[in-house]
Structures are given as structure tokens and as C-alpha cells.
């Protein structure tokens, strides 16, 4: 299946690496104009260069998705450059090292909740304000297989991803009558820099998926594009599992 996002302005947060970058590549291949953000200048510069080489118009912004001033500046820059925002993928996220619940420090809890929950909250607010002015838009939040299920010794992350699912559902209902569709994708494990930094033995992760392998970044990006496209025109407030059967076990 090929998607067509020609002339659409697509924002992806945390898109210099991992799943965000895979989404950027996929939307670029489908003709979109891109805004990609990240907190790593070096990785961002490389991602912008690589995408531009393929002929895509890209605005790269060094931007912290969990900082309200940054998010406000991000939206100002998007409107100044493109005049509108059609699709937003709230992907920026982080995790703590796996640790028993009673050992988790307050600072670690705060860090994960700030990026994964407050970040999605702030970005959705800014995006929806702009989409209301335009008369509509599409938002895809990066949730997780752990938005519906547990993972050992990952309480801060699991808590944050349950919250992303809740935010997605409740805000989607609030704006459903104004042509703003909001959905979340719930990926299983993919060997991104985040996962590789946290898990020593990726083969153990594979066994948690019914399909007995990890996902690829492209498989997740396909789900994101489906939710951002008119093919999912009757979906809002939904959580799409792209998890190799993780939650079916």
C-alpha cells in the first residue's frame, strides 16, 4: 500500500532517531512537508540533511517537547514557515532503566512523566489550538504495548504510557465534532537506540511477542500513516496495536 501526503504539513516530535525518524522517512516518501524536532542538535542536523537529500522540504527545530516555551516557539515557527499544521505525531519519549518499583527515585519518575505525559499534553494543546483555527487536523500519539499491559520493573514508563492512552481517548472525544481526529499507536518492541540502551538481550524481548520477533521501525510508521490518513476516517480515540501480538498473549 502506498500513502499520499502531498502538500500536507506533518510535525513529528523526537524525530532525529528511532521510530520518529522512521516516521519522518515514511511521510517524506509519501510527499509530505516535514517539521521534525529533537533535543539533540547533532542528530537533528543529520536527519534534516538526509531527508533533504531525498528532495523533502524539512524544517528542523531544536526543541524540547516537554517545555511549554519551546512548544509555543515550535508552533510559531511552523505557522511562520508553512502557514498550517495538518498532521502531528507526538513521538518524543524516554524511559528509565529497568528497576524494581520500590527503588525508583522521584527524579526518575518526574523525568519520564514530564517527557512522556506533560510533553504529549503540551504538544496536543498547541496543535489543537492551531487545528481549530484551520478547521481540522489529525494527531497520532506514540503510546506503547505497555499502554494496555505490564512490563516487569518499568513502572514509570508503563504509568506514562497508560496516561498517553487516557489522554488520547478523552481529548479525542472533546474535539471529535470539530474534524480533529486523535488516535494513538501502541507498538511492541523495536530495536531503536532507546531499547538497545535499556535491554542487554534483545532475543528475550522477541519471545514476548506472539510473532516471536521484534517489530521494524517501518512497520510502526505504516500504522502511524494509517491513523494520519483518510483511510482511518472513522477512527478517533482509538489505540492501534502494532505489537506482534504482545497484547493478545
Ligand X SMILES: NC(=O)c1ccc[n+]([C@@H]2O[C@H](COP(=O)([O-])OP(=O)(O)OC[C@H]3O[C@@H](n4cnc5c(N)ncnc54)[C@H](O)[C@@H]3O)[C@@H](O)[C@H]2O)c1
Interface with ligand X (CB under 6 A)? 13-14, 16-20, 37-40, 43, 64-66, 91-94, 115, 119, 142, 144, 187, 189-190, 192-195
CB of 137 to ligand X, least distance (A): 20
Q: Which is nearer to ligand X, 54 or 193 (CB)?
A: 193
Alpha helices in 87-201 (DSSP H): 106-113, 119-134, 155-175, 193-198
Distance in Å, CB of 242 to ligand X, minimum: 9
Q: How far apart are the first and last CA of the chain?
A: 28
Nearer to ligand X, 18 or 137 (CB): 18
Residue 34's nearest CA partner among 81, 94, 66, 76 is 81
Nearer to ligand X, 16 or 59 (CB): 16
Rg of the chain in Å (alpha carbons): 17
> Among this protein's residues, is 151 annotated catalytic?
no
Chain Cα centroid distance, residue 65 = 11
Distances (CA, A) of 238 to 147, 234, 241: 12, 10, 10
**CB of 114: closest distance to ligand X in angstroms?**
8
The C-alpha cell at 238 is 482509538
> Residue 187 CB, nearest distance to ligand X (Å)?
4
* Residue closer to ligand X (CB basis): 17 or 59: 17
List, by residue number, the catalytic residues. 157
Amino acid at each position: 500500500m502506498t500513502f499520499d501526503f502531498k502538500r500536507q504539513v506533518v510535525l513529528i516530535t523526537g524525530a532525529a532517531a528511532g521510530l520518529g525518524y522512521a516516521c519522518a522517512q515514511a511521510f517524506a516518501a509519501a510527499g509530505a512537508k516535514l517539521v521534525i524536532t529533537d533535543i539533540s542538535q547533532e542528530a537533528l542536523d543529520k536527519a534534516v540533511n538526509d531527508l533533504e537529500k531525498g528532495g523533502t522540504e524539512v524544517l528542523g527545530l531544536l526543541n524540547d517537547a516537554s517545555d511549554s516555551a519551546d512548544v509555543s516557539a515550535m508552533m510559531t515557527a511552523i505557522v511562520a514557515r508553512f502557514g498550517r499544521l495538518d498532521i502531528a505525531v507526538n513521538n518524543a519519549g524516554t524511559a528509565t532503566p529497568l528497576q524494581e518499583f520500590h527503588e525508583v527515585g522521584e527524579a526518575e519518575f518526574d523525568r519520564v512523566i514530564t517527557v512522556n505525559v506533560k510533553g504529549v499534553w503540551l504538544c496536543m494543546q498547541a496543535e489543537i489550538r492551531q487545528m481549530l483555527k484551520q478547521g481540522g487536523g489529525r494527531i497520532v500519539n506514540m503510546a506503547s504495548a505497555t499502554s494496555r499491559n505490564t512490563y516487569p520493573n518499568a513502572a514509570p514508563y508503563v504509568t506514562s504510557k497508560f496516561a498517553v492512552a487516557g489522554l488520547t481517548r478523552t481529548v479525542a472525544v472533546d474535539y471529535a465534532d470539530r474534524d480533529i481526529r486523535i488516535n494513538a499507536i501502541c507498538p511492541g518492541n523495536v530495536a531503536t537506540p532507546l531499547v538497545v540502551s535499556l535491554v542487554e538481550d534483545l532475543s528475550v524481548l522477541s519471545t514476548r511477542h506472539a510473532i516471536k520477533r521484534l517489530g521494524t521501525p517501518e512497520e510502526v510508521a505504516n500504522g502511524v500513516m494509517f491513523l494520519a490518513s483518510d483511510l482511518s476516517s472513522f477512527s478517533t480515540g482509538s489505540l492501534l496495536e502494532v505489537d506482534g501480538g504482545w497484547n493478545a498473549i
